[in-house]
Structure 1
Amino acid sequence: MGIKFSHQFNGAFIMFVVLQSFLVESRHVKLEPPHNQEQGHRKSNGTSDDIAPSTLDGLYSSKINYNLYGGKWYKSPVTYGFDSTSPMPSGLNYEDVIYVIDEAFQKWQAVVPEFAFQRIYPGEDADITILFTTVSTEYYGYSYYPPDGRLHLDIDHTYWSIESYPAWNEHDLLSGAMHEIGHTLGLMHTSNRDAVMYPTLDYGTIKRELSQEDIDRIQSLYYDEY
């Protein structure tokens, strides 16, 4: 009986680990008021506390394979859309949010044209489904690797900005969306603070261009043969 129970427990534990690997949460850093006009946010300190717990074992290294837990999309075009029940962030209208999300997808398509992204409605029928919803206070969003494709952005305690420069207490929507889209395409976090796929996004900052590392990783995932 003890041996049978042990096998069942081990099987359940392995299944838990496998399912957990498909979810990736993305943090913002602790918020503090600006001390002067030049310092509008508190930068993350680079410790393990800044890394989402579900990816502590998956930090990117140039010496390891780029392939990730969730695989990749094996189709073209890849569709995306908003869940029909999704509200919009306070102070932002639907058209402006759609414009920013479209731009975020185009940033990734520029380096992997085969994505051929298409936005559809209702989003429930899309490969990547976007929803503004309440997320844990530690995070501004979370996403799932392919073929799940769910992308959730916080609407409760995160103040999203679509301005050229977000305020000291705001998060840039384009930067956050680009990061979460990267997960839905199959990329996990990186320890490179300059990359879009770094797990934290500082208040009042922008990260709207893919780093060379981001480009290398996504192209390796979709173009390299293994």
Structure 2
Amino acid sequence: MAIKFCHQMNGALIMFLVLQSFLVECRPVKSEPPHNQDQGQRKSNGTTVDGLYSLEINHNLYGGKWYNFPLTYGFDSTSPMPSGLNYENLISVIDEAFQKWQAAVPEFAFQRIYPGEYADITILFTTLSNDLYGYGYYPPDGRLHLDIDHTYWSIESYPTQNQHDLLSGAMHEIGHTLGLMHTWNRDAVMYPTLDYGMIKRELSQEDIDRIQSLYYDDY
């Protein structure tokens, strides 16, 4: 019996060592994509996670900053627009998203220009993989990409449960293009998850404190 038990223990130990090696190799590893690209948004069970892994959040406060103002933004001249959305209303929503951040840091003095490829922050609706709705690049890159094929954007007062609120999503990605990374604060715009149908259209006090710290603490 003792010999059998010993064999069982040895077998269990060998299996543990094999599995342990596998688990170490396969666990999520935090990484930064090239060109300062922030992790894209992963959709899972009705939730959008701004990262490759739902539990991975970059704890750094900042990813860069702008030094010359005013900042310009605009749509790339090649960018299509999501079908079913009124163009003027869509532009108004994007303008509003930038104004929310400007209210916290008036020095941004955002100006929308056309064509947007000459802007500091260039907006492009484009085809992303089916688990991404968008991402923003940190300064001084400034690209902001939003999915046009797999994401149902809403510019209405109340998005449905299968839609993403464009104002909420745009505010989050603009935060990245201004230099902010993620936060654990669920009330913050820069929290990495956004449920379908969720509205998050106002900066939290933490969002305001972080963006002001980034742009004012050096002065």
TM-score range, shorter chain: 0.7 to 0.9
Change (3 A) 1:22 1:56: farther
TM-score normalised according to structure 1 size: 0.77
3-state DSSP of counterpart to 2:146: strand
Tell me, yes or no, if the aligned pair for 1:82 and 1:130 is still in contact at 8 Å. Answer: yes
Change (3 A) 1:123 1:97: same
RMSD of the TM alignment (CA)? 2.2
Amino acid in structure 2 at the alignment position of 1:161: S
Structure 1: gaps (5+ residues): 1-16, 32-41, 45-49, 61-65
Which of the residues 75, 90, 96 maps onto 2:89?
96
Deviates more, 1:114-123 or 1:19-28: 19-28
Q: Which residue of 1 aligns with 2:25?
A: none
Question: How do 1:130-169 and structure 2 match up within 5 A?
Answer: 130-169=123-162
Q: Which residue of 2 aligns with 1:205?
A: 198
The alpha-carbon deviation at position 134 of structure 1 amounts to 1.0
Tell me, yes or no, if the aligned pair for 1:80 and 1:117 is still in contact at 8 Å. Answer: yes
Deviates more, 1:51-60 or 1:106-115: 51-60
Tell me, yes or no, if the aligned pair for 1:28 and 1:202 is still in contact at 8 Å. Answer: no
In the alignment, does 2:44 pair up with 1:30? yes
3-state DSSP of counterpart to 1:201: strand
The number of residues matched between the two structures is 188
The alpha-carbon deviation at position 90 of structure 1 amounts to 1.4
TM-score normalised according to structure 2 size: 0.79
Give, in whole Å, the separation in 2 of the partners of 1:148 and 1:175. 22
Amino acid in structure 1 at the alignment position of 2:38: V
3-state DSSP of counterpart to 2:133: strand
Tell me, yes or no, if the aligned pair for 1:77 and 1:116 is still in contact at 8 Å. Answer: yes
Give, in whole Å, the separation in 1 of the partners of 2:98 and 2:42. 21
Change (3 A) 1:122 1:43: closer
The alpha-carbon deviation at position 225 of structure 1 amounts to 2.1
**% same residue:** 73
Give, in whole Å, the separation in 1 of the partners of 2:40 and 2:167. 14
Tell me, yes or no, if the aligned pair for 2:134 and 2:173 is still in contact at 8 Å. Answer: yes
Structure 2: gaps (5+ residues): 1-30
Q: Which residue of 2 aligns with 1:81?
A: 74
Amino acid in structure 1 at the alignment position of 2:96: E
Deviates more, 1:147-156 or 1:88-97: 88-97
Amino acid in structure 1 at the alignment position of 2:121: I
3-state DSSP of counterpart to 2:139: coil
Tell me, yes or no, if the aligned pair for 1:27 and 1:201 is still in contact at 8 Å. Answer: no
Give, in whole Å, the separation in 1 of the partners of 2:193 and 2:130. 13
3-state DSSP of counterpart to 2:89: helix
Q: Which residue of 1 aligns with 2:112?
A: 119
Highest Rg: 1 or 2? 2
The alpha-carbon deviation at position 43 of structure 1 amounts to 5.4
Amino acid in structure 2 at the alignment position of 1:177: A
